[in-house]
Amino acid sequence: MASQGLGVLCSYARQNGTPGLPATLWNIIAAFKTFAVAAALLGAAQAVDVNVRANGGNVTGKFDKFGYGFLHEDINNSGDGGIYAELIQNRAFQYSPSYPVSTAHYSPINGASLGIEFVSPPLSSALPASLRVSATNTTGQVGFQNEGYWGIDVRVQKYTGSFWTKGAYKGEFTAWLKSNLTTDVFGRVQVQSKSVADAWTEHKFELTPSVAAPSSNNTFAVTFDPAGTSNGTLDFNLISLFPPTYKGRANGLRIDIAEALEEMNPTYLRFPGGNMLEGLRLGAEWDWKDSIGPLRERPGFEGVWGYQQTHGLGLVEYLEWAEDMGLHFAVGLYAGLALNGNYTTEAELQPYIQDALNEIEFIISPVTSTWGARRAELGHPEPFELNYVELGNEDWLAGFPGGWESYKAYRFPLMYEAVSKAYPDIQIIASSASSDPNPETAATDGLDFPADVLGDYHPYREPDQLVDEFDRFDNDFGHIVGEVAAVHVNGGIEWLGLLNPYPWWIGAVGESVSLIGYERNSDRIPMVLYAPVLKNINRFQWSITLIQFAADPALTTRAVTWYVWSLFAHHPITHTLPTTSTSDYGPLYWGAGRDDDRGGALVWKGAVFNTTNSSSVPVTVNFQGVRRGTKAKLTVLTNPGGDPFAYNDPFTGVNIVKTTETELVAGPRGGFKFSLPELSVAVLDTDVAAVSKDPPHHYWGKPKHWRGHGRGW
């Protein structure tokens, strides 16, 4: 479909969701090609008329209308050093078989020696290792500094910090925010010592720098006077510093990243993985119980993406993230498969099933339940609303074929039985799609999906392949699209090739075609999620993303993909609407719907991919029942530079995506006319009034700039 390249005329009225054209029609189409090419050479592809029926579609979504969102797991330092706002790297000297304990990211001040000790008593059984700071100089303050996650953003705002110490000390600590390049100090605060010889004591402080740092190349330091100690030595642990957080949550999210996500208008969050849920080996899965409670009780997680994790962004933080951003969520429940391919036997499965049931109880049950009471103890007595749980992650992949066979034979059926019996109102998602095991693996029988189960489909593809996704769900049962992204350029050699280094324009347009395809089947596809959603540009494993960032918020960059997903997410629909056209899909792809939450606003979404000679496509969208003079807003995303591989580079700050908003007026038969360039993404929405009340861009608030057509068609 992607290489078809021509919008061609034929007398065949295509219905929304109708499978491929009869072969004889391709002959008719071929007869028109000469004409089409001639038109293209004149700068415009064949005009496409789309008729949108007023009725006859389907209600979208399941518990709520269809929506966009993302999978979040801690990959690309998207959690620690990412959306989780903690500024101190290696704050609690956590370790695991893959990541040995160390003093990494710390350096000494005034000749102190720094080392790891396992003192008795430890701060907690979860955090047995701590940092020993020993003075070698007896004069002047000694201590340590931490470089943060590749820097620390310092501005005039309140930082909230704490650290624990063990060792007798009479005197004061000083907490500093200072330059890593010069002797500049931006702020400091004295903290009275409560430290004693035989126990751990917490010290809390607030620090407001008097001046902002010129760059993020800064450190956080703690110093003390060795003269006040018994032997010049103190032990430190859980050294923490937070800037102000999203919605002011303690242990919360980094504001600029969270706001960039929120501004995309997402509806769904899936967590905690992804591969992260599965863990590297049996017994090393992301255990939700380790992620709740005071930070000193969280042991940390042996990350599956090449770094130790803190567990700071734990289950409650994920739930509050969803709550604060107004998101529905899908929770991944561990189903007994590890990334090394080992899986639980049937006899070993029961404790995991019980654990999954307990996790659901923690999330949704009243305070009178055991786990609901624990949730209340942790500060959230109100149950959360949980509509979706997924049993495992990609159980068709790791350990194939054994892992997959065990999922089909007992891991899925037994978990399904237990969860659906205890929580019949929760939608269960299987971790495979109807097309899994996918073509990368040798095919065997698929999962026999119970009628009430959704599949989970993860198309990481080339742009052309994403265009081929357009009709993927025209004849299939319900799925979530739990992970999707353009990852390789066309002609890449599948997973043997390198991922494209940045999300790039033709990839984003390819995604948009697949999104339209999923959305026009949104009676069975309740959500479509991007992954991996965030990327720290200092250390990442997957290059494609929605948002790129570093310590310096000035580098926080919405990738080209963000603009496409944001555009579609800002124009939701409660119902699909059937369309007919005398043109086939391609190079223009479209879908339509109605949003009853916005008074029946009519929405048409389209994308142009692979026209001949890069010509534009003239389009007329006729909404049945719409009267002459009705207004609609057309938003078109293009890359005026024309390079299909252009991307948004955090270091230049140049946004290659141009957003053009135009007010259109319907002609006599309710038609809206416009033209869409090659590699463009568009939304036409009649809800002009509602959109203008809440302008997404400054442009919308200035009617004099509208390029409204003076007359209709």
Q: At closest approach, how far in Å is the CB of 397 from ligand AHR?
A: 7
Per CB under 6 A, 437 contacts ligand AHR = no
Q: At closest approach, how far in Å is the CB of 485 from ligand AHR?
A: 8
Q: Taking CB under 6 A as the criterion, which residues in 471-490 touch ligand AHR?
A: 483
Q: Taking CB under 6 A as the criterion, which residues in 23-82 touch ligand AHR?
A: 73, 75
Burial 312-335 (b: 16+ CB within 10 A, else e): bbbbbbbbbbbbbbebbbbbbbbb
Q: At closest approach, how far in Å is the CB of 270 from ligand AHR?
A: 10
Q: What tokens were used for 252? A: 């919360």
For ligand AHR, give the closer residue by CB, 236 or 504.
504
For ligand AHR, give the closer residue by CB, 98 or 616.
98
Binding mask 227-266 for ligand AHR (x = CB under 6 A): ----------------------------------------
Query: Which of 394, 395, 685, 687 lies at the binding interface for ligand AHR (CB under 6 A)?
Result: 394
Query: Which of 542, 631, 649, 688 lies at the binding interface for ligand AHR (CB under 6 A)?
Result: 542
For ligand AHR, give the closer residue by CB, 458 or 472.
458
Per CB under 6 A, 275 contacts ligand AHR = yes
Instruction: List CB contacts of 141: < 8 A, sequence separation 6 or more.
Output: 109, 110, 174, 223, 224, 225
Q: What tokens were used for 438? A: 């996918």
Per CB under 6 A, 141 contacts ligand AHR = no
For ligand AHR, give the closer residue by CB, 275 or 612.
275
For ligand AHR, give the closer residue by CB, 457 or 609.
457
Per CB under 6 A, 225 contacts ligand AHR = no
Three-state secondary-structure class, residue 630? coil
What is the spatial distance between Cα 522 and Cα 398, in angstroms, rounded to a whole number? 29
Question: By CB neighbour count within 10 A (0-12 exposed, 13-18 middle, 19+ buried), where does 58 fall?
Answer: middle
Q: What tokens were used for 405? A: 């066979």
Three-state secondary-structure class, residue 388? strand
Longest dimension (CA), the chain: 94
For ligand AHR, give the closer residue by CB, 256 or 483.
483
Q: How far is CA 324 from the centre of its chain?
A: 15
DSSP letter, residue 62 = S
What is the spatial distance between Cα 539 and Cα 544, in angstroms, rounded to a whole number? 13
Q: At closest approach, how far in Å is the CB of 500 from ligand AHR?
A: 15
**How many residues form the binding site for ligand AHR (CB under 6 A)?**
12
Per DSSP, the residues of 568-614 read HHTS--SEEE-EEESB-SSSEEEEEEEEGGGTTEEEEEEEE---GGG
Per CB under 6 A, 274 contacts ligand AHR = yes
Q: At closest approach, how far in Å is the CB of 45 from ligand AHR?
A: 35
What is the spatial distance between Cα 71 and Cα 628, in angstroms, rounded to a whole number? 43
Q: Which residue is nearest to ligand AHR (CB)?
A: 274
Q: What tokens were used for 43? A: 């700068």
Pairing type for strands 218-224 and 455-456 reads unpaired
Whole-angstrom CA distances from 333 to 263, 350, 357, 429 are 28, 13, 9, 10
In the block, which residue shows the tokens 């003192």? 119
Query: Which of 195, 251, 291, 393 lies at the binding interface for ligand AHR (CB under 6 A)?
Result: 393
Q: At closest approach, how far in Å is the CB of 541 from ligand AHR?
A: 8
> Phi/psi of residue 376, each to 5°?
-60, -45
Query: Which of 209, 314, 507, 532 lies at the binding interface for ligand AHR (CB under 6 A)?
Result: 532
Per CB under 6 A, 511 contacts ligand AHR = no
Q: Which of 144-152, 259-267, 272-280, 473-481 is the region at the interface with ligand AHR (rule: CB under 6 A)?
A: 272-280
For ligand AHR, give the closer residue by CB, 17 or 532.
532
Per DSSP, the residues of 90-139 read TTT---BTTB----TTEEEETT-EEEEE--SS-S-SS---EEEEE-SSSS
What is the spatial distance between Cα 46 and Cα 18, in angstroms, rounded to a whole number? 21
Q: At closest approach, how far in Å is the CB of 394 from ligand AHR?
A: 5
Per CB under 6 A, 285 contacts ligand AHR = no
Per CB under 6 A, 273 contacts ligand AHR = yes
Per CB under 6 A, 459 contacts ligand AHR = no
For ligand AHR, give the closer residue by CB, 393 or 583.
393
Q: At closest approach, how far in Å is the CB of 400 from ligand AHR?
A: 13
What is the spatial distance between Cα 504 and Cα 26, in angstroms, rounded to a whole number? 33
For ligand AHR, give the closer residue by CB, 393 or 521.
393
Per CB under 6 A, 531 contacts ligand AHR = yes
Binding site for ligand AHR (CB under 6 A): 73, 75, 273-275, 393-394, 458, 483, 531-532, 542
